[in-house]
Amino acid sequence: MYLVSKNGNINHLTKNSQSGSFLLEMLRLKTMDKIEKEFDVAIIGGGPAGMMAAIKAGEKGAKVILIEKNLTLGKKLLITGGGRCNITQAEFNNKKFVEKLGKKGQFLLSALSIFGPKEVCDFFEKNGLPIKTERGGRVFPVSDKSQDVLSVLLKCLIKNKVRLLLGQEVVGLNIKDGKIVSVKLKEKEIFAKAFILATGGKAYPGTGSTGQGYFWAEKMGHKIIKPLPALVPLEIKESWVAGLSGLGLKNVRVDVLQNNKKIDEKFGEMLFTHFGVSGPIILDLSKKIGEIMSKGEVILRIDLKPALDILTLDKRLQRDFQSKRNFKNYLPDLVPQKLGDLIVRFTKISPDKKLNSINKEERKKLIDVLKGVELTVKGSTGFGQAIITSGGVDLKEIDSRTMRSKIIKNLFLAGEIIDLDGPTGGYNLQICWSAGFVAGSNATNLTI
């Protein structure tokens, strides 16, 4: 870790010093009154895409300034992965990676070939951050601390002489002859040859993601695909879900139904909350649900036993029901304990009834419940709890090989501001790293 003193000298700090990161940023902020006004590359947004873009541009020898309205960098990065920071997804086949991003995923293929998951892993390991891969290909720092990820980025920013302008909000952009001339701040104006817009989306507005970047991009002539909350918990109409709050289910399948037609499905883990449902598969389904909500009622059907078809499940129950145990004592063998009362409520089988006295009709009702608990979606919890934003600057207006705008000659775009997002598991941070790296690299081509 490094600390830049008032005379510009770089001093070493302890490698894992969190206080060093704070002091570094505060000192940078205090010295901004003396900052130059002209740069090769100016980057707006100090999230993962903006920091990576600044690191790469600085590495290539450009004079770079990174402008962030918060007093610290990476505010949203620090809360990702529950504070552990899911750095990337260990899918090293780029074609398979982009398949997970849906129809628009092909846009990222070029950037992934330059700076994909393997290169991201190498970047952090070479800069002193041990990493590990967990179930589902999720890559985390061994320390499980997102602060350690941010410390690596800060170290690289300083190493490549990137100037930080913190606590300074951009109020406008000066455009002339199809090019950005300068960034207007409340008390300053920053001029540059190339500009990178990495302001994020609208998710987690408390971290500074207010969607302001969409306004600027649209004002410059870019089309904005309507931003919607994605990877977001869902609110459910049925009041009984509140009684299951905190219950996590593993190895279940959730189908999304509308007008009795299956729209989507996911297999994995989910979680009941006091207002509805969350967890990995719910978050991954939330984008599609948000898109279809206006077309009619949306139903979630939970299959609690997806590994067993109806015939196999029925044979198992017939075998188990030869016992004289009470139904209520058997239920914990079948479902998590919290679901027991719900099963009784839906099947109307007396909890004290002996298993060997349960009839065929009751057994069929039990199978119906196990294979299809239905929930009615009320809506999502919105941008306030959304992990990412779906929508943004239209990809058709961005050169995928360089991240350069096709409308503004010296503008590059990277990160959540563009209309590209993926499922949980490190995909979205990888989009930021890849797009930021390519934008930073190519922005220097206009300057040096």
Residues 284-332: pLDDT tens digits? 999 999 999 999 999 999 999 999 999 999 999 999 999 999 999 999 9
pLDDT given for residue 249 in this prediction: 97
Please indicate, yes or no, whether residues 315 and 420 belong to a single structural domain of this protein.
Answer: no
Predicted local confidence at residue 15, as pLDDT: 38
Q: Are residues 410 and 320 in the same domain?
A: no
Domain that holds residue 185: 2-228+392-446
Q: Which of 340, 359, 381 is the last residue of a domain?
A: 381
Same-domain status, 78 and 138: yes
Q: What is the pLDDT of residue 36?
A: 78
Q: For residue 69, give the nearest of 51, 44, 93 by alpha carbon.
A: 44
Please indicate, yes or no, whether residues 27 and 168 belong to a single structural domain of this protein.
yes
Q: Which residues of the chain have pLDDT under 50?
A: 1-20, 23, 25-27, 29-32, 448
145 and 29, same domain (yes or no): yes
Tokens 């293929």 belong to which residue?
109
387 within some domain: no
The verdict on 331 and 433 lying in the same domain is: no
Among 381, 403, 419, the domain boundary falls at 381
381, 411, 432 — which closes off a domain?
381
Radius of gyration of the chain (CA): 26
On whether both 121 and 170 belong to a single domain, the answer is yes
Asked if 191 and 407 count as a contact pair (C-beta separation under 8 A), the reply is: no
Query: What per-residue confidence (pLDDT) applies to 93?
Result: 97
The β-bridge partners of 189 are: 184
**pLDDT reported for residue 8:** 31
In a domain, 386, yes or no: no
Tally of domains within the chain: 2
Q: What H or E segment, with its residue span, contains residue 97? A: helix 94-99
3-class secondary-structure state, position 173: strand
- CA distances in angstroms from 270 to 137, 177, 303, 306, listed in the order given: 18, 52, 12, 14
Do 346 and 377 touch, CB atoms closer than 8 A?
Answer: no
Domain co-membership, 370 together with 398: no
Q: Are residues 317 and 342 in the same domain?
A: yes
Any domain includes 347: yes
pLDDT tens digits, 16-52: 334 445 545 444 544 445 667 999 999 999 999 999 9
Asked if 299 and 354 sit in the same domain, the reply is yes
Whether 205 and 278 share a structural domain: no
406, part of any domain: yes
Residue 40 in any domain: the answer is yes
Distance CA 217, CA 170 (A): 13
Q: Are residues 171 and 244 in the same domain?
A: no
